[in-house]
Amino acid sequence: MGRTKATPTTEGVKRKVFNLVTAKYHALGDYLRQIITFGTTDSYSTQPGELEHRNVKRYYARSNKIRATAQMANIHRRERILQKTIKRLKNLRTKIADRRHREAANVISSHHFISDSRNNPVYIDSWLESFPGDPALKDYFGKLHNHLLGRLRNPGQADNGVEYGPVEHGEITILNDRLFEHKTLRVHYTTYDLQRNYDLINPSKYADIMAVAHDVDVDAGISEGGHPFVYARVLGIYHTDIFHMPREGKPIIHSMEFLFVRWYRRDETFKAGFQQKRLHRLSFIPASEPNAFGFLDPDDVVRAAHLMPVFASGRTDEYLPGKTVSRPLGEEDDWKHMYVNCFVDRDMYMCYRGGGIGHVRLKVDDPVNEEEWSDEEDFADTEDELNRGGDAELDERSESESESSADGSDIDDDSSSSEGEELDDTRAIGRIETGLGYGSL
């Protein structure tokens, strides 16, 4: 028998009939929507469904085996309700935190920001009992009452040196003898180019601050003490509720913020400033003096201060011996001296130098031509060597100039004399113009 020819295939697309064996080919059109809804197949696991029988067994063990199915359904429903409640509370806390952050960002025009949280209460009596004999906490109650009462009686002039007695202290009561501690203080300030920025102050890390000195007359632009700022280390950031019962008027409850600080003292025997080309030097006030520790209104803080240890002077415990609440855990001494770094950034420099647009200027005496300098001998020797080197360089320059003039070079006497007069005028200024951000005062 002969071979038969194969029938020719018809042209066109071959028809595919739905088949359960190849169902995935027919579902290709739905893949995109499923991936958007549930994610890719490698982003989830089938184990939860496979292990769901464990939950059923757990529900059954919690029932009394009578009508177990209904009891298991009730248990499952209660768990779902609790899970939804927990999720809703978490979302609510997140929204509250986001709202507080937005509110904090919106108050950048204010002077400072301290949280209103009450999560870290401090009961004064028990807290003081945990540090018995600590000089930093000597007369803590009296100083705190004096500070708060001074702010209530004389807003903006709390630290004017007025001491109130026990009778006046009776006007205020700290509700429940309780303070609320905070981790950070954010101080807003105006930069030299009229932008708003802030310093973050943390007692455990970045705790040094600067405030306007009490003897500064802002209207006249004069500082009697010769320096526009005072410096302190923040030991605690608090707010508390005060019940104020004045002699005249109705009682009222105030919420007041304050800082517990350890004060620095500027070394006036150390000549410093722009004319002297040296940084100002500080040291802690000895704990034996009554004003070594105190309280400060956050509104009085200008900026965070950048203080650098004077390593050559070493450390000492003469200011405050032993362990104390005013030092980090494990430390028992302090740096003997600290330098005030006014060149840490351009905004800090403009605070001391002045000239920022829209800033207040304070004229601060910066004496020159001082005959007696109180300084280390090694610095004086180094200065003499530099002066001798400078004199030798000037001699060489004068010789070269005389040779050039002998060769016929002309020297403009008028220009040289005018430069000399300008230099004399510059030296005769004898003061530093200090600019403070107007948003900080």
- Among 28-37, 43-52, 129-138, 407-416, which stretch is predicted with the lowest mean pLDDT? 407-416
Mean pLDDT of the chain: 77
Of 37-46, 139-148, 204-213, 360-369, the one with minimum mean pLDDT is 360-369
Model confidence band, residue 105 (pLDDT cutoffs 50, 70, 90): low
Give Cα separations from 246 to 54, 168, 253 (angstroms): 68, 9, 11
Q: What is the pLDDT of residue 425?
A: 38
Residues above pLDDT 70, as percent of the chain: 72
Contact indicator for 158, 147 with CB cutoff of 8 Å: yes
Domain coordinates of the chain in residue numbers? 33-94, 120-365
User: Would you say 73 and 56 are in contact if contact means Cβ atoms under 8 Å apart?
Assistant: no
Stronger pLDDT, 243 or 402, i.e. the higher one: 243
Residue 182 CB coordination number (10 Å): 19
Q: Are 233 and 208 in contact (CB under 8 A)?
A: yes
Name which of 32-36, 161-165, 285-289 the model is least confident about: 161-165
Distance, in Å, from the CA atom of 142 to the CA atom of 163, rounded to the nearest integer, reads: 10
Does residue 412 have a pLDDT over 80? no
CB of 136 closer than 8 Å to CB of 289: no
Q: What percent of the chain has pLDDT over 90?
A: 30
Adjacent-strand bridge partners of 339: 281, 308
Tokens of 40: 């890719």
More confident residue, 294 or 379: 294
Which residues on adjacent β-strands are paired with residue 365? 431
In this prediction, residue 121 carries a pLDDT of: 93
Is the pLDDT score of 114 beyond 60? yes
Rounded to an integer, the average pLDDT of 320-348 is 89
- Residue 190 confidence class, pLDDT cut points 50, 70, 90: confident
pTM: 0.61
The pLDDT value recorded for residue 363 is 54
Give the residue with greater pLDDT, 402 vs 350: 350
Which range among 7-11, 59-63, 331-335, 386-390 shows the weakest confidence by mean pLDDT? 386-390
Rounded Cα distance, 205 and 185, in Å? 12
* Least confident residue range of 47-51, 89-93, 104-108, 119-123: 104-108
pLDDT score of 112 more than 60: yes
Residue 1: per-residue pLDDT: 52
CB-CB contact of 284 with 320 (8 Å): yes
Q: For residue 128, what pLDDT band results from cuts at 50, 70 and 90?
A: very high
The mean-pLDDT minimum among 6-10, 52-56, 105-109, 412-416 falls in 412-416
Q: What is the pLDDT of residues 349-398, one digit of tens each?
A: 888 877 665 556 655 555 444 444 444 444 444 445 445 544 544 455 55
Average pLDDT over residues 114-132: 90
Cα 325 to the chain's mean position, in Å? 20
Q: How far apart are CA 335 and CA 309, in angstroms?
A: 6
Whether the pLDDT of residue 407 is over 60: the answer is no
Q: What are phi and psi of 227, to 5 degrees?
A: -145, 135
Q: In a 10 Å sphere around its CB, with 0-12 CB exposed, 13-18 middle and 19+ buried, how is residue 148 labelled?
A: buried
| 177 touches 346 (CB < 8 A) | no
CA distance 397 to 392: 9
pLDDT at residue 9 greater than cutoff 50:
yes
Contact between 209 and 231 (Cβ < 8 Å): yes
